[in-house]
Amino acid sequence: MTWRTAAAVDDAVEATRRFLFPFHPVRWGILAFLLFAMATGVSAGVWTFVAADVFLTELVGSAGIGGASVTAAALRLAGGAAADRLSLAVAVVAGGTAVALSVASLTLRLVFYDALETSDVRLFGPFFGRFRQAIGLFVAVVTLRGVAIGATALAAVVGVVSATPIRWAPIGSLAGATEALPVESVVVAWALAGLAVLGASLALRLTYEFVVPTMVAEDIGVLAGWERVVHAVFTEWRESVAYLVVHSFVGLGSTLVGAVVVAILGMSVAAAGGVALLLVAALLGGLEALVGTTVGLVVGGLVTLAAVVALLLLTVPVAVLTRTYVITYEVAALGGIDPSVQLLDVGSETAAIDGGEYETDAEEKAARRE
């Protein structure tokens, strides 16, 4: 028996080579931005809200007004105190910013898969074209994360809050109702919460790795993408299990290779920077002149800055290469599980990127989309 998800490892190598090479700095720069936004966008939205909460708590606390924060505003919408109005205003702004960052990150995720399909790496056109899909994707992601967080919070309420007086009526009532619960009920609650978190985590992974490329390949919404993917995954459940196993090795191997290459580059840059500093010290009259004079400190700072920039310029392409390969494997494996969803054209001829020409099949897909 031929495992298609295992064979996708080789297909991903070829597809990655055709997608990334020949090297073009602008193209790689856009891809680096897309990958960075994909990895940090949703987290940036969450941390925006958390930072607003901390900022507001400190601001109001320093003004001598207690009990105001973004979290407090979510629980206490009524009231006319200045602190409440300020909390609510900051909560709205922070929440809106968090949502905007998250939706933008998901849109850029769709843009990356769009580029993978067409080999045409662009930002603005695909961004506006995929924005509607990203809104539905955002709702799905928030729902799944809400299931995981809600299940954990409910288990915590059942296990802890029953012994703690809570002023907020809904939780206080629930605490009173759970005071007499036996230990077995608490254990069951945590077990169910664990299953809910595991299920939501697997569903999120399925959404990012399979549903998103399906949405791009078939130009459909998140619900239709989910229906398509779930049917394929359950129909080809053996291939799906094999995918999870192979993906773990692909991810681990890419991480190790990237770490080794970055370590080698880091040591090389550090060695070059050290040699440069020694030469500067020799010209200035010694190490004491390097660290004890204004000229020495300025030159040392410039050398350090140049080393950091050089390290970034050398390591970012490594991250683009390794992360693109992992994503390309996921897409190739999806084509093995559901052959009707083909985002990659591994067997097609590739023309020179610098000349503005791309794969023939990709050009046809782009023309149909326009």
Q: What is the pLDDT of residues 47-81, one digit of tens each?
A: 555 555 555 555 555 444 444 455 555 444 444 45
How many other CB atoms sit within 10 Å of the CB of residue 302? Answer: 12
Cβ–Cβ < 8 Å for 247, 205 = no
What pLDDT is recorded for position 84? 58
Q: Name the 3-class secondary structure at 291.
A: helix
What pLDDT is recorded for position 318? 94
DSSP assignment of 155-223 = HHHHHTGGGS---SHHHHHHHHHTTT--HHHHHHHHHHHHHHHHHHHHHHHHIIIIIHHHHHHHT--HH
Element (H, E) at 260: helix 237-284
Element (H, E) at 344: none
Cβ–Cβ < 8 Å for 37, 366 = no
Query: What Å distances lie between residue 152 and 28, 160, 178, CA to CA?
Result: 40, 12, 16
Helices (H) and strands (E) counted in the chain, each on its own, are 13, 0
Q: When comparing pLDDT for 363 and 184, which is higher? A: 184
**Residue whose token pair is 């702004």:** 93
87-101, 263-277, 319-333: the lowest-pLDDT one: 87-101
Residue 356 predicted with pLDDT over 50: no
Q: When comparing pLDDT for 107 and 60, which is higher? A: 107
Task: Give 75-131 as a 3 state SS string.
Answer: HCCCCCCHHHHHHHHHHHHHHHHHHHHHHHHHHHHHHHHHHHHHCCCCCHHHHHHHH
> In a 10 Å sphere around its CB, with 0-12 CB exposed, 13-18 middle and 19+ buried, how is residue 56 labelled?
buried
Residue 183 predicted with pLDDT over 70: no
Q: What is the spatial distance between Cα 63 and Cα 286, in angstroms, rounded to a whole number?
A: 53
Q: pLDDT tens-digit profile of 21-33?
A: 999 999 999 999 9
pLDDT grade for 344, boundaries at 50, 70 and 90: confident
Q: What is the spatial distance between Cα 232 and Cα 210, in angstroms, rounded to a whole number?
A: 10
Cβ–Cβ < 8 Å for 30, 121 = yes
114-128, 189-203, 303-317: the lowest-pLDDT one: 189-203
Rg for the chain (alpha carbons), in Å? 26
Output the average pLDDT for the chain. 78
